[in-house]
Structure 1
């Protein structure tokens, strides 16, 4: 079968790459054409039609400024799908783009699978109508999403969370070897995961590193995003701030704690059993707009959303200060707060179910 897959972000690249592996196990003759990143490229053996680094625009203002590019990409994608004529179109999150493509592809009679739901339960709930009209199979990875769709008369399949698959494949690591390979010193590590987009990373790193003078017994190590060149991080690096590229899971497993920008990384950090503080700040205009369109959502991190209670502290916008970062980081480095968080991470894994999300998703895709 011929599969056309669209993933517009780093997390989508990860999950889509694992899905491609599962599809190949069940359909060895599978042919892929895709929008994504380096992980999908490794599976396919050839590059994407478009790399996600050229697609990801963050915030209302950035989207508005790049609307011409976005519209050109949509037009190009439609023409490409029409020429390729896939048996199945697999859309991975990225709703602003993918829902437009779903509507177009439905008109061509192509089977449409949506893998990893957009966060319609947080905002733009009206988009469920498009899911109902244009999507043949909705595959969700968060337990509460199945009930959300049922409320809107859409049958969704909860396949489990693919991060459990990705993390289960991680091999044991020797901390001392990791430090030696990356020219790190003997101090314990505090990992910094500041995001994947240039403007976001700059803003987050300046805030995260503001606590450095208070933690001289630790070394801070930045997890480099694959979408940004090594040179970009040079302004942040010094004798006690280091940089590691393309080894985020290894870095986390060698760390005592982490400061993490909201997103999939918050869940990855928790599933790797590393205590964390969630950090988020956007432009004031984007934040004010966001507050008005996001509804009935108490948390921004996936960890807290899934558990429906605060497991990890979220420092958002004006709360993200050096003083608060200092306080929360001290709290999770030792003592009962750290132990409580690690216990809650065990409950989180139980709630997400077992491994096999990618295989379950592939079974549903191939069934039809």
Structure 2
């Protein structure tokens, strides 16, 4: 089955956010044993994004950000990749591992950020700026990557844009908050930013961050650059409301590295709440708390124990990327890797 995602559906349907997790430890243990058996029988490796439900993260062979997992997929000996994430992530795995079967446990797992620009919209934007270099966040569809000169992650976006000659215009897409972060860091005036956003990260606002920081003034702040509150975090640091050394604008991989090394007793985290599971595992002595406890991605949470089981039993839903699109998209990802280490992904 070829999975397609409605590019106009920027919000997940409400029925996708209903909790459908296992609760009893014995139930989880039996299910996990069955998943491992099914994976062996199908010659599959199970990958889980950091924003997945805790039990999905725990049963996976590898957990991480989308680009790191796609690179693991490409290097894996298994013939089948089961990607517990959203659709563009499974597409990226297929782009980097075209000879493998790639399954996504629920075909409805879209992404509001990836859906915020289509290939047709990008082509029209490029026509308005002939000669501009297109830099696309890795959180984009294969069709958009195919129209891209070079991809980037949140951890290396600044380096990728800085590598473009200063006299060339840059079209940065699709995340406006990450684009604003890149513009601040590079000081580049010929950087045009697409007005897209992740609905979850955009909803973590500056007022919430300020209130949480005021309630716990000694806490470190881990803020994802996709967040609507990233500017507020820098403002708080600039005004001295929060010591500058306590404010960290980080990718998910950067958050994990920082979590392992922090000496703080508490950390306020501004990203999708699934990330807290990995942070707590990285440093159990620290109290990691969300800036917004409602920041859960309904698309990510479509992947449930039941849908993962069905994917392994029935071989559904398979992700396909046509060869011509995959070849062009692969080139834009490869250029990103050649510029420098992609870092911690999103």
Q: When the two structures are superposed, what TM-score results if normalisation uses the length of structure 1? A: 0.29
Q: Which has the larger radius of gyration?
A: 1
Q: When the two structures are superposed, what TM-score results if normalisation uses the length of structure 2? A: 0.31
